[in-house]
Structure 1
Amino acid sequence: MHVMLDTAIFLGKFLYYFLESLTFKIIPKSKKNIAGEIVLITGAGSGLGRLLAINFASTGASLVLWDINQEGNMETCRMAKEKGAVKVFTYKCDCSNRQEVYRVADQVRKEVGDVTILVNNAGIVTGKLFLDIPDHMVEKSFYVNVISHFWTYKAFLPAMIKANHGHLVCISSAAGLVGINGLSDYSASKFAAFGLAESLFFELNMIIKCDIKTTIVCPYFISTGMFEGCTTKYSFLLPLLNQEYVAQKIFTAILEEQVYLLIPKFAYFALVLKQMISPKMMIVLAEYLGVNTCMNSFKGRVKKNELPNETEEKSQ
């Protein structure tokens, strides 16, 4: 009897939320007002992080910009102010360093206040075949792309839970859903970032039962310097994404409190298909989409006095 009642309750709730989800697909959710929020963006000194800061600039939110590149971070600050931001705070922070994250987080709390929207955007890519990746770059990929998320969550989540208010944003990747050759360390770290963010989503909703929102973003290759040289075989299925377009989609997803955002929409179909077809069929599909060759001409963003493919860019 208990099983029948439990099943009936489950089916009722499942149907209700299915219809709710369907309704929101037809009639988008109203966008929340984030004026007065404190938004922290890691890897804000260039690329996607900079564009996200610009999108938040005119909302009335206070911006906290973290990047290891202080010069780039100051340029983002200037651009955000030009777009209407009034309160912008910049901090130099190596997100891969736990002690530095905690130290700068304490500084932010004292000088700005409790962060209410945390955007974990900082990331790096090596773009080498597995056996060609230097050991230190494997470690660096994990420290920047996922382990840093542990430190920022631990630094800012307690205040969000206490206030029963906040929003966690994880910039993962399509490579965090499907492994891509030439990106083994990047894919592995982005899989981990996705898993961490999704685990927290369930923990916050099912165990702690608080009103903290979660948004997990998985875009295909973005046309920033980070993925310079990457190619796509059929752009109508898997286009190289315009960074302004991606930033706007992420910004909208945050305001609409979407939990998952996959870009482009073909990624949703590919993810479902992955679970249904055989491994050999997956290889055939990957070859058709050009996944086997997409990293052949990868260059990445090269800094001065660095060799290609050894960039340590701190923003997506």
Structure 2
Amino acid sequence: LRFFVFWTCAILICSLLDAVVELFFPKKRKSVTGDIVLITGAAHKLGRATAYEFAKHQSKLVLWDTDKEAIEEIAEECRSLGAVAHAFVVDCKKREEVYRVADQVKRDIGDVSILINNTEVRKIAVLMSTKDELIQDMFEANVLSYCWTIKAFLPAMMANDHGHIVTAASINGYVGIPLMATFSSSKFGAVGLHEGLDQELRILGMNKIKTTCLCPTFMKSDLPNNLRLKEFILVEAEDTAKVLMEGILTDQKMIFFPWWIKFIPILK
């Protein structure tokens, strides 16, 4: 108990000192203007809001999603903000389709320098009542698709010695939650992918290729009206996207939103 109290106090003090330092010495922000930014799952919620944030910075957007009508609408809205935007219908769960469209992007648009892995399949259900096909879909979307896009676009980043890879995970990637065992385990995999990739890049001397992992709580549109998780504060996709953009511009490795949930893994 004494160790637990000591450790918690130490973390709180470090967080406070970090906040004070950032207040007087704000982190330098990089420019993403002109960067080719690819966002998977771009037609809905966080993906859509993130696309708008990059459009405001005049990035060149490559938007992937399975919803043709929605993704074209998002691309048009990004163009209205002054950004160049390209829409592609892609099922990121299908490896060969990812590689095929990635080749098209590299050939027709250029090298992707910022990759936002945001594809997600979510199901709230007891594990034993979740269909096998849906379990497979969750892992293919929430973990394996991230591997395929990284393998498709990382080589060019390494050749150019410039890039940024973002993993959209969840606080579920640190804490398992009842009724979401499969989703939680897939997000644990996404967090592990981020951490492992970050270490590999450092070992390879690719220090100019940055990585960021986003771990928010649930967004308001994620949960059915009859489910109430009082342990969590629900967040808006637009607010989450703003926090993510700030994290990308300042090269933050881990982003917890709201900020206080970073204590959950420690308390666990």
TM-score (norm 1): 0.76
Q: Contact 1:231 / 1:240 at 8 angstroms: preserved in 2?
A: no
Shift of 1:26: 5.0
Q: Distance in 2 between matches of 1:122 and 1:43?
A: 5
1:77 aligns with 2:71: no
Residue in 1 that maps onto 2:56: 58
TM-score (norm 2): 0.89
Shift of 1:146: 0.5
Shift of 1:24: 4.0
1:269 aligns with 2:267: no
1:159 aligns with 2:156: yes
Higher relative contact order (CA 8 A, sep 6+): 1
1:121 aligns with 2:121: no
Q: Contact 1:98 / 1:148 at 8 angstroms: preserved in 2?
A: yes
Alpha-carbon RMSD across the aligned residues, in angstroms, is 1.7
1:189 aligns with 2:186: yes
Q: Distance in 2 between matches of 1:163 and 1:21?
A: 34
Q: Distance in 1 between matches of 2:49 and 2:206?
A: 32
Shift of 1:111: 1.0
Q: Distance in 2 between matches of 1:227 and 1:159?
A: 38
Q: Distance in 1 between matches of 2:212 and 2:120?
A: 17
Q: Distance in 2 between matches of 1:20 and 1:222?
A: 27
Q: Distance in 1 between matches of 2:262 and 2:24?
A: 18
Q: Contact 1:217 / 1:260 at 8 angstroms: preserved in 2?
A: yes
Q: Which region of structure 1 is more displaced relative to structure 2, 260-269 or 95-104?
A: 260-269
Shift of 1:203: 0.8
Aligned residues: 251
Q: Distance in 1 between matches of 2:119 and 2:25?
A: 33
Match of 1:107 among 104, 107, 120: 104
Q: Distance in 2 between matches of 1:228 and 1:26?
A: 42
Pick the structure with greater CA Rg: 1
Shift of 1:126: 1.2
Q: How does 1:37-48 map to 2 (within 5 A)?
A: 37-48=35-46
Match of 2:147 among 119, 139, 150: 150
Q: Secondary structure in 2 aligned to 1:32?
A: coil
Shift of 1:61: 1.0
Q: Distance in 2 between matches of 1:143 and 1:100?
A: 13
| Structure 2 residues without counterparts, runs of 5 or longer | 1-16
1:216 aligns with 2:225: no
Shift of 1:56: 0.6
Match of 1:33 among 31, 34, 55: 31
Q: Distance in 1 between matches of 2:56 and 2:137?
A: 34
Q: What percent of counterpart residues are identical?
A: 39
